[in-house]
Amino acid sequence: FRPRRWKQVSKSKATNVVRMDWHTNRTPTGKRSATKARKLAQYFALGRGRTQEQDIRPQRGQWLDQNGRQCTHEEVLQWVRQQGMSHELTLQFILSVKEAELTPDAFNRAMAAGGPLFSNWRLIPHDDTRYPHAHALAFSQQEVHIKSQAYQAWWLKVRAALEREQVSAREWQLEQARAEEMQVEAAHEPSQAVRKQRAMALEQEQHSFERSVAGPEQTHEVLDQLGAELSPDISERDQAQAPGRGLEL
């Protein structure tokens, strides 16, 4: 089963895409049927091919309902059959982003941000293509015109939500990279408190030996020994502060 061409193609340069298509839940003779909706659910979860081929594949993602609850594929198929037999139209959506990896919940929040125009759906994310995206299924008794004010308002809200989710995802990724960089630096460079403590210990040893009755040669020998113990740490610090050291973001 191949979905029909999309009814709406975004020409914007924004970093996300939201599209919708619809199918009638009728046979050529006019009888109610949920076959198209069921095939869409199968395709979204298991890819193309015959049922026997689909059944042996791992599921491409985790189904979520409009409340964020995880659903099994069998639960979704049952819901699709019920909705398809009681509604005139099956609506299918695709939500796609270009600049960040979004979680299933992030896609679901974006779908919900559109408001009550579509209040009941099942969504499944895919991350096995060039851009992360999610598919969603909903049902309606009448055609939804993409040029209508209601749909345009919903569409803009969902796209704005996807942009916000991308920004949050990128910020989190940067924070993770910075945290990893700090861990690497900490592993190679003693903390400021440790360096200060070692310097104070060396100074105390210097004063102690200066007041001692030991001869000058013995005093200098011990001080040289203490200085040698501190030198590797200072050397490591200088290397850690050299230009270009650390992780690239």
Task: Identify the CATH number of the domain defined by range 16-171.
Answer: 3.30.930
- Lowest-confidence segment of 38-52, 153-167, 199-213, 222-236 by average pLDDT: 222-236
Q: Which distant-in-sequence residues (6+ apart) come within 8 Å of 146 by Cβ? A: 7, 8, 20, 152, 155
Domain boundaries of the chain, sorted by first residue: 16-171, 189-240
The whole-angstrom separation of Cα 100 and Cα 136 is: 20
Averaged pLDDT for residues 69-79 = 97
The whole-angstrom separation of Cα 219 and Cα 208 is: 10
Q: Give the pLDDT score at 29.
A: 94
Q: Give the pLDDT score at 100.
A: 85
Q: What is the pTM of this model?
A: 0.67
247 — pLDDT class (breaks 50, 70, 90) = very low
Q: Which distant-in-sequence residues (6+ apart) come within 8 Å of 5 by Cβ? A: 21
Averaged pLDDT for residues 36-59 = 87
pLDDT tens, residue by residue, 133-174: 999 999 999 999 999 999 999 999 999 999 999 999 888 888
Which of the pair, 9 or 203, is modelled with greater confidence? 203
Q: Is the pLDDT of residue 112 over 60?
A: yes
Q: Is the pLDDT of residue 116 over 60?
A: yes
Q: Is the pLDDT of residue 40 over 90?
A: yes
Percent of the chain's residues with pLDDT above 70: 69
Mean pLDDT score of the chain, rounded to an integer?
79
211 — pLDDT class (breaks 50, 70, 90) = low
Q: Which of 246, 243, 248 is nearest to 187 (CA)?
A: 246
User: What are the angstrom distances between the C-alpha of 50 and each of 1, 124, 129, 136?
Assistant: 9, 20, 21, 21
Q: Give the pLDDT score at 87.
A: 97
Q: Give the pLDDT score at 55.
A: 77
Task: Return the exposure string of 29-55: e unless at least 16 CB atoms fall within 10 Å of the residue's CB, then b.
Answer: eeeebbebbbbbbbbbbbeeeeeeebe
Q: Give the pLDDT score at 134.
A: 96
